[in-house]
Amino acid sequence: MIQQPASARLSQKRGFTVQNPYLPYPVRIDEIITETEDKNLKTFKFVFLDPKDEDRFAYKAGQFAELSVTGKGEIPIGIASSPTEKGFIKFTVNKVGLVSTYLHSMKVGDIMGLRGPLGNSYPWETMEGKNVVIIGGGFAFTTLRSSIVYMLDPANRSRFKDINVIYGARSPGMLLYRDELAAWERRDDINMHITVDAASDPGWKYNVGFVPTITEQKAPVAGDDTYAIICGPPIMIKFTQPVLDKMGYAHDHIIMSLENRMKCGIGMCGRCNVGKEFVCKDGPVFTLAQLTTMPKEY
Partner 1 sequence: MKVFTIDKKDWDAGIERTKLSYQVFGPVKEKEWHCFKALDKDEQPDMTYSNTRLSPKFLVQPQTEPMFTYTLDESQPDHHILKEVNKDTSPKAMVGIRPCDASAFLLVKRNFDAPQYQDPYWLKAYNAITFVGFACNDPCSTCFCTSAGCGPFHEAGLDVLLADDGDRFLAKSLTDKGDAFLAAAGWKVQADDAGKIEAMKQAAESKIGSHVSTGNLKAKETTQIYDAPFWEDTAFSCINCGTCTYSCPTCWCFDIQDENRGNSGVRLRNWDSCMFPLFTIHGTGHNPRGAKVQRVRQRFMHKLKYYVEKYDNGIQCVGCGRCIRLCPVNIDIRRVCNLMNDYDPAACVCPA
User: Least distance (Å) from partner 1 to the CB of residue 60?
Assistant: 15
> Which ranges of 82-167 does DSSP label H, i.e. alpha helix?
98-104, 124-127, 142-152
In the complex with partner 1, the residue whose CB is nearer, 164 or 290, is: 290
Helix, strand, coil tally for the chain in percent (to 5): 25, 30, 45
In the complex with partner 1, the residue whose CB is nearer, 60 or 193, is: 60
User: Least distance (Å) from partner 1 to the CB of residue 296?
Assistant: 8
User: Least distance (Å) from partner 1 to the CB of residue 73?
Assistant: 5
Residues lying near partner 1 in the complex (CB under 8 A)? 2-8, 10-12, 16, 18-24, 26, 49, 68, 70-75, 94, 96-97, 100, 110-113, 234, 259-261, 263-264, 266-276, 281, 293-298
| Cα end-to-end distance, the chain, whole Å | 54
In the complex with partner 1, the residue whose CB is nearer, 29 or 199, is: 29
Q: What are phi and psi of 255, to 5 degrees?
A: -115, 130
User: Least distance (Å) from partner 1 to the CB of residue 151?
Assistant: 27
Helix (H, G, I), strand (E, B) or coil at 239: helix
| 244 membership: H or E segment, kind and range | helix 234-247
User: Least distance (Å) from partner 1 to the CB of residue 133?
Assistant: 26
Residue 261, beta-bridge partner list: none
In the complex with partner 1, the residue whose CB is nearer, 101 or 217, is: 101
Distance CA 119, CA 116 (A): 8
In the complex with partner 1, the residue whose CB is nearer, 21 or 248, is: 21
